[in-house]
């Protein structure tokens, strides 16, 4: 247990105290007490900083389930560091923001902060785990905490719907990913990511390589809301806004990106890895940007924008993975630029999207709505929020002087590199990327101008808007400042954060001690990238102005291809199907249930005997049979068969009684005097009881059953009889164990009893007999109660 382990577990441990703070100190907002956790963690991770330039990553080992090869190993390298700082840094700002956003009088804050801390710990666990199984556990923990946070206002139907949707989609992907991990583990013989990377050569040639890749990608794509699994993210916006800012834009949805980056050293360099990720990423980029424009809810707009931006990062990771491909060794450094762009944009997106979400939260808080049809003209009322939106929005659109511009340019460089070095038709890649960026520009304009300019219509708002309190503005201001600072001084983070992260994605490209050359600058001269950006501004402004004319295409999209529609249909269909299947066999008929049980016995017990060839018939040791014994056996069979065919109650009771008495005669022949005596007594009482029922119960009817049911009953009965007979005969014919009965020959010395059976019952196994008496007694009470109690109560009435 090292300090690094403690860092991951700290948020989990701290949850224990949160309810105490909430209950005992209700005057102070619980958030203030929680704030210390991300602060401590941020400082701790920042203190690990001298990771730069070739120093070895931090590795801490802890044994967990050694027999399964599962070790709680943590590994802090450049990529983990980037994520850990984002998780704790944004986490800190989000909690500060939430203190002003979440009312301490009205909300169940302890739940909120417990879920948040669980998420924070789980997310740190994902990015620090070296073991795939541990990573999976944390992965699902983030899904669960995300579910709880989306459904935080569980009174609302939309919240529950969104939470369920997010859960179903991400957990399904998680399961696929687990399967992929198991395949990887079996191919490599270890679950350690570092060892798997080291064994890349073995894994690539394994037959499970492609299936494992696809399954792992399914997990990554569902988590990072990639097309067509993106549909859960807009519905997840039902969560409180600090959560949307934290989980659903800055951190959790980037877990899929993290996984892809982490797995690049294993799968990267394979063409299918490149194609799948790049195509899915670019389609997501386009579709998200396209759909964002039509949204009226500001949060939904940001959700689609997040989807789109995640697609951008994904596609960059896809392109960058080619740096590991043997055919492109000469261009490896060019392609590695895409990885740099990916990690850089990941960082940028976290800061500008975080601040934008916080601004939307402020708008919601101050005006009572997030609907852009109601908002407008807030510029003079909320100038600070406006400035923040300009910074965040234009950074998102990829304009200078904001950090988004830098990574956007690098993105264009990436897609252009791919086009230049792969194939002619890959020209589609930069074209789609450019179109998507045009749409991105349009929705950024929608966000900024529809909210803050235009006519101010106070009658449509629930509250009288004014600027937010300072506490709520602090966090977005910090983030927006970062956006500006990074633009002017990108090299503040280039060798400290970005290059080490890049090195963990592409470790094999470097010799020990080498570093990637990372020089980010805003001005590259008049190149294609710059013209693309200019084109975006021109085309985007044009589209924004003419939006009314082309907005019809949104309403003419075929409903059949709406993925939400498919999801809903699929869900109700699955529910109906499972209800139908369940109702089919759970039909309430005792007869059916008993039939299942008997059939199961026949098939499973009989079948496994058959398969194991366990049936053995060896009559050589049988005792001789006397003629009266034949007579007894036949009489038993006849009297029992008799019960089947008569309809008179009395006759069938006599038949059952006859079997009982005949069995007691058998016991005499079997040299079991005690049994014979007991059986005689019991049979007499039982017959008397049967006769009592005969007196009270109605006459037996000829049962009207369909011939099909009759035949199936007969078959089941014969099956049961045959299977048990065969098992019985086989059991006689084989004697795998030595009998223990010789021990009881000493019963006189041990217990002073000459009757061995009796000494077993009352001495050697006395507890059994005592409990048996309890059963008898209980049954007696039951009989008495059932006969008397209700009668007396009814009489009283």
Partner 1 sequence: METLMTITAGVLFTVGTYLILSKTLLRIIMGMSLFTHGVHIMLMAINGLKRGAAPLLGEEAESYTDPVPQALILTSIVISFSLTAFSLVLAYRTYKEHGTDDVEQLRGQEND
According to CB under 8 A, which one of 559, 708, 754, 793 is a site residue for partner 1?
Answer: 754
According to CB under 8 A, which one of 68, 271, 557, 637 is a site residue for partner 1?
Answer: 637
Please classify residue 720 by burial: count the beta carbons closer than 10 Å to its beta carbon, then call 0-12 exposed, 13-18 middle and 19+ buried: middle
Could you tell me the smallest distance in angstroms from the CB atom of residue 695 to partner 1? 9
According to CB under 8 A, which one of 523, 555, 584, 696 is a site residue for partner 1?
Answer: 696
Q: Does 620 bind partner 1 (CB under 8 A)?
A: no
Peptide bond before 401: cis, by omega within 30 degrees of 0?
yes
Q: Does 750 bind partner 1 (CB under 8 A)?
A: no
According to CB under 8 A, which one of 330, 611, 624, 707 is a site residue for partner 1?
Answer: 624
Q: Does 599 bind partner 1 (CB under 8 A)?
A: no
Q: Does 380 bind partner 1 (CB under 8 A)?
A: no
Residues between 113 and 132 that touch partner 1 (CB under 8 A): none
Q: Does 665 bind partner 1 (CB under 8 A)?
A: no
CB 544 within 8 Å of CB 538: no
Q: How far apart are CA 77 and CA 59, in angstroms?
A: 9
Q: Does 666 bind partner 1 (CB under 8 A)?
A: yes
Contacts (Cβ under 8 Å, ≥6 apart) of 601: 720, 723
Residues between 551 and 590 that touch partner 1 (CB under 8 A): 588-590
Could you tell me the smallest distance in angstroms from the CB atom of residue 737 to partner 1? 12
Q: How far apart are CA 522 and CA 533, in angstroms?
A: 13
Q: Does 622 bind partner 1 (CB under 8 A)?
A: yes
Could you tell me the smallest distance in angstroms from the CB atom of residue 685 to partner 1? 7
Could you tell me the smallest distance in angstroms from the CB atom of residue 782 to partner 1? 5
Q: How far apart are CA 307 and CA 292, in angstroms?
A: 9
Kindly state the helix (H) or strand (E) to which residue 714 belongs, with its residue range.
helix 707-733
Contacts (Cβ under 8 Å, ≥6 apart) of 271: 325
Residue positions counted in the chain: 797
- Each residue 180-199 as x (binds partner 1 by CB under 8 A) or -, in order, gives --------------------
Q: Does 654 bind partner 1 (CB under 8 A)?
A: no
Q: How far apart are CA 321 and CA 738, in angstroms?
A: 67
Q: Does 204 bind partner 1 (CB under 8 A)?
A: no
Residues between 345 and 374 that touch partner 1 (CB under 8 A): none
Beta strands in 116-164 (DSSP E): none
Residues between 277 and 296 that touch partner 1 (CB under 8 A): none
Could you tell me the smallest distance in angstroms from the CB atom of residue 690 to partner 1? 7
Structure-token pair, residue 381: 């009322």
CB 57 within 8 Å of CB 75: yes
According to CB under 8 A, which one of 95, 150, 653, 654 is a site residue for partner 1?
Answer: 653
Could you tell me the smallest distance in angstroms from the CB atom of residue 691 to partner 1? 10
Q: How far apart are CA 176 and CA 751, in angstroms?
A: 64
Q: Does 670 bind partner 1 (CB under 8 A)?
A: yes
According to CB under 8 A, which one of 214, 629, 665, 751 is a site residue for partner 1?
Answer: 629
CB 126 within 8 Å of CB 219: no
Q: Does 674 bind partner 1 (CB under 8 A)?
A: yes
Q: How far apart are CA 564 and CA 582, in angstroms?
A: 27
Tell me the HSE value of 76 on the side-chain side, using a 13 A CA sphere: 24
Q: Does 772 bind partner 1 (CB under 8 A)?
A: yes
Could you tell me the smallest distance in angstroms from the CB atom of residue 611 to partner 1? 21
Could you tell me the smallest distance in angstroms from the CB atom of residue 751 to partner 1? 11
Q: Does 705 bind partner 1 (CB under 8 A)?
A: yes
Radius of gyration of the chain (CA): 37
Instruction: From 110-118, 208-216, 392-400, 592-600, give the range in contact with partner 1 by CB under 8 A.
Output: 592-600
Which residue's structure tokens are 């519905």?
Answer: 235
């Amino acid at each position: 247990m090292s300090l690094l382990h403690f860092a991951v577990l700290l948020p989990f441990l701290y949850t224990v105290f949160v309810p105490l703070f909430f209950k005992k100190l209700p005057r102070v907002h619980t958030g203030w007490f929680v704030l210390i956790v991300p602060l401590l963690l941020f400082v701790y991770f920042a203190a690990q900083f001298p990771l730069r330039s070739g120093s070895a990553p931090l590795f801490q080992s802890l044994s967990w389930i050694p027999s399964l090869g599962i070790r709680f190993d943590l590994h802090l390298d450049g990529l983990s560091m980037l994520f850990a700082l984002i998780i704790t840094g944004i986490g800190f700002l989000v909690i500060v923001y939430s203190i002003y956003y979440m009312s301490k009088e009205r909300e169940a804050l302890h739940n909120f902060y417990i879920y948040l801390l669980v998420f924070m710990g789980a997310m740190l666990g994902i990015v620090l785990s070296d073991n795939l199984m541990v990573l999976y556990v944390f992965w699902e923990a983030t899904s669960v905490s995300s579910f709880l946070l989306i459904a935080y206002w569980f009174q609302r139907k939309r919240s529950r719907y969104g939470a369920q949707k997010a859960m179903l989609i991400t957990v399904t992907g998680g399961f696929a990913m687990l399967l992929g991990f198991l395949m990887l583990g079996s191919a490599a013989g270890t679950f350690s990511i570092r060892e798997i990377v080291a064994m890349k050569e073995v894994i690539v040639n394994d037959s499970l390589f492609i299936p494992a890749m696809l399954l792992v990608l399914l997990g990554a794509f569902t988590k990072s809301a990639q097309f067509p699994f993106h549909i859960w993210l807009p519905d997840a916006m039902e969560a409180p806004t600090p959560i949307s800012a934290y989980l659903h834009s800055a951190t959790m949805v980037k877990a899929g990106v993290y996984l892809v980056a982490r797995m690049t050293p294993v799968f990267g360099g394979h063409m299918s890895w490149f194609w799948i990720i790049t195509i899915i990423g670019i389609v997501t980029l386009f579709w998200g940007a396209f759909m964002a424009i039509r949204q009226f809810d500001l949060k939904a707009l940001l959700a689609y924008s997040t989807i789109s931006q995640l697609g951008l990062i994904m596609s960059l990771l896809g392109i960058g993975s080619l740096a590991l491909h043997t055919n492109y060794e000469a261009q490896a450094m060019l392609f590695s630029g895409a990885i740099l762009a990916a990690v850089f944009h990941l960082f940028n997106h976290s800061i500008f999207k975080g601040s934008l979400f916080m601004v939307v939260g402020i708008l919601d808080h101050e005006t009572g709505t997030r609907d852009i049809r109601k908002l407008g003209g807030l510029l003079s009322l909320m100038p600070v929020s406006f400035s923040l939106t300009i910074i965040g929005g234009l950074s998102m659109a990829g304009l200078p002087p904001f950090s988004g511009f830098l990574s956007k340019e690098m993105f264009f460089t990436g897609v252009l590199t791919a086009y230049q070095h792969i194939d002619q038709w890959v020209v589609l890649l930069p074209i789609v990327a450019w179109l998507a960026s045009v749409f991105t520009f349009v929705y950024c304009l929608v966000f900024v101008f529809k909210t803050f300019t235009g006519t101010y219509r106070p009658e449509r708002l629930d509250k009288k808007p004014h600027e937010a309190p300072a506490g709520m503005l602090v966090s977005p201001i910090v983030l927006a400042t970062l956006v500006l600072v990074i633009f002017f001084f990108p090299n503040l983070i280039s060798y400290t954060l970005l290059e080490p992260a890049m090195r963990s994605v592409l470790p094999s490209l470097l010799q020990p001690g080498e570093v990637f050359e990372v020089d980010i600058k805003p001005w590259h001269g008049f190149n294609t990238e710059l013209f693309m950006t200019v084109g975006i501004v021109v085309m985007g402004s044009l589209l924004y102005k003419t939006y009314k004319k082309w907005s019809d295409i949104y309403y003419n999209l075929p409903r059949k291809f709406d993925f939400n529609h498919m999801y809903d249909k699929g869900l109700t269909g699955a529910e109906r199907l499972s209800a139908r299947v369940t109702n089919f066999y759970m039909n309430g008929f005792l007869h059916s249930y008993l039939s299942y049980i008997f059939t199961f016995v026949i098939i499973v017990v009989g079948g496994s005997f058959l398969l194991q060839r366990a049936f053995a018939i060896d009559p050589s040791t049988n005792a001789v049979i006397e003629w009266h014994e034949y007579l007894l056996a036949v009489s038993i069979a006849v009297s029992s068969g008799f019960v089947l065919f008569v309809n008179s109650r009395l006759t069938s009771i006599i038949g059952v009684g006859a079997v009982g008495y005949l069995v007691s005669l058998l016991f005499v022949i079997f040299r079991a005097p005690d049994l014979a005596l007991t059986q005689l007594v019991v049979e007499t009482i039982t017959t008397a009881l049967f006769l009592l029922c005969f007196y009270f119960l109605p006459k037996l009817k000829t049962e009207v059953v369909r011939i099909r049911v009759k035949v199936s009953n007969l078959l089941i009965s014969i099956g049961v009889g045959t299977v048990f007979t065969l098992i019985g005969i086989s059991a006689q014919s084989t004697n795998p164990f030595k009998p223990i009965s010789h021990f009881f020959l000493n019963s006189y010395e041990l217990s002073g009893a000459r009757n061995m059976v009796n000494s077993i019952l009352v001495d050697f196994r006395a507890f059994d007999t005592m409990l048996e008496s309890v059963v008898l007694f209980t049954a007696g009470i039951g009989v008495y109660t059932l006969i008397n109690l209700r009668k007396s109560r009814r009489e009283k009435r």
